[in-house]
Amino acid sequence: METTLTGPDGLFDGPLDGFAGAHDEQLARFPVREPAWQPVHTVYVPADRVTAEIVQQWRHAATDLLHRLLFTPAELAALFELDPELAQPVHDRVRRKLHAEPIEDLRIDFEDGYGPRSPEEEDGHAESAAAAVAAMHEAGTLPRRWGLRVKSFADGDPLRSVRTLDGFLTGVVRRAGRLPDGFTVTFPKVLMEDYLRQFARCLEALEHALRLAPGTLRFEMQVEAPQTVLMLQRSAGLVPSLGGRLAAAHFGVFDYTAALGLPPDEQRLDHPACDHARHVMQTALSGTGVELSDGSLAAAPASDAAADVHALLRRHSALVSHSLAHGFYQGWDMHPSHLVSRFTTVYAFHLTCYEKYADRVRAWQERREAAGGVLDEPATIKTLVAALGRADRALC
């Protein structure tokens, strides 16, 4: 064809000088990665309560609740307002899930859920937690994802944080003979950007000391302060500066809403202020490969009475639905009862639209209108394919 700027050889120098460098920077900041499995939740357990039987304990408690109060699909449908046609497959999946894998991601908590302890006591719990992890690994009950949450550098004592991590990892590697797959560490209350880089350097030093492969130790940052939200907004190069060690960003609802001065009854995941923070997280971390997780409902049933349990499950389900609608597919669970509402809501969310989404993708591939005359854009098709893949991974 006839052109004005480009010659017969296709070359076009000058205005495009520097493109290669810019493209390399793009790939560094926004790496193209294949979609991977992501847990639907992280279960937080204070370090002094973690034993080798923790998964079985949560399985038993959640299964007992399901059998006692939601034994039939009809009871599940009535409580969670499910389409009757979904009730049976959702109930079956929840029952099987609680039996096979009640906890997908376990986090041993040495921070807020654990509280201030003497140095000797925290050292002891780091050792006992390491022994519990090694025993779970040997028994085949260690969740696919697991790790710990250390104390914040913002507390002014980074040595305590690093010592707990060091003792825990050293104990696990010594007892298990290696570091089992799926490890991550949660780094809370990030008030200064340099804390992230300092912590990444600590992980690199631990890898070297424990003779682990480079890049083995990765971490999650918690977004639980307005300062952290502003940090994400202004620091486009934050993720690359951490050398691939930032695996995820988890929202912390209670510290965040408290820092904003919201009244106690408004410390909730579905508050508009929390929606804003989540959307900043999505915008700042989009395309970086960093996973996103929502926070928690810090509540247990007021009693074992059916009315109290049902009220808790409905509230938790509503919050999980809110997170899913906002594109957050993982959250925190703090009590065994949350497993029932978590899995029920997640499975219903994916199953409700699965066939409709699949038909729209087929219609696009066949160059025809989807049901209802829908004409999807390429970006929507990409989202539909991603949603189907996410559903397949969550429902497996």
Asked whether residue 3 is assigned to any structural domain, the reply reads no
Cα distance between residue 295 and residue 278, in whole Å: 10
Asked whether residue 55 is assigned to any structural domain, the reply reads yes
Would you state the structure tokens that stand for residue 63, as one six-digit string?
């299964």
Q: Yes or no: say if 130 and 171 are a contact pair by the CB < 8 Å rule.
A: yes
Where in the sequence is the domain holding 42, given as residue range(s)?
A: 35-352
Asked whether residue 11 is assigned to any structural domain, the reply reads no
Would you say residue 158 has pLDDT above 90? yes
Strand 331-333's sheet: what is its strand order? Answer: 291-293, 246-251, 219-223, 183-187, 145-149, 105-109, 41-46, 331-333
Residue 113's CATH number: 3.20.20.60
Asked whether residue 258 is assigned to any structural domain, the reply reads yes
* Buried residues in 235-269 as b, exposed as e (16+ CB within 10 A): eeebbeebeebbbbbbbbbbbbbebbeeeeeebbb
320-323 CB contacts, 8 Å cutoff, 24+ apart? 320/345, 320/346, 321/345, 321/349, 322/269, 322/270, 323/269, 323/294
Asked whether residue 170 is assigned to any structural domain, the reply reads yes
Number of residues assigned to the chain: 396
Cα distance between residue 269 and residue 253, in whole Å: 6
> What tens digit of pLDDT does each residue of 174-227 get?
999 999 999 999 999 999 999 999 999 999 999 999 999 999 999 999 999 999
Q: Yes or no: say if 158 and 205 are a contact pair by the CB < 8 Å rule.
A: no
pLDDT of residue 7: 64
> What tens digit of pLDDT does each residue of 281-316 get?
999 999 899 999 999 999 999 999 999 999 999 999
Give the burial class of 203: count Cβ atoms within 10 A of its Cβ; 0-12 exposed, 13-18 middle, 19 or more buried: buried
Q: Does residue 10 or residue 21 have the better pLDDT?
A: 21
Split into its structural domains, the chain has a count of: 1
DSSP assignment of 16-54: TTTHHHHHHHHHHHS---------SEEEEEEGGG--TTH
Would you say residue 32 has pLDDT above 70? no
Asked whether residue 360 is assigned to any structural domain, the reply reads no
Asked whether residue 10 is assigned to any structural domain, the reply reads no
Would you say residue 123 has pLDDT above 90? yes
Residue for token pair 């969550």: 394
pLDDT of residue 371: 72
The alpha carbons of the chain give a radius of gyration, in whole angstroms, of: 23
Would you state the structure tokens that stand for residue 147, as one six-digit string?
């790790």
Say whether 135 sits in a helix, a strand or coil.
Answer: helix
Asked whether residue 300 is assigned to any structural domain, the reply reads yes
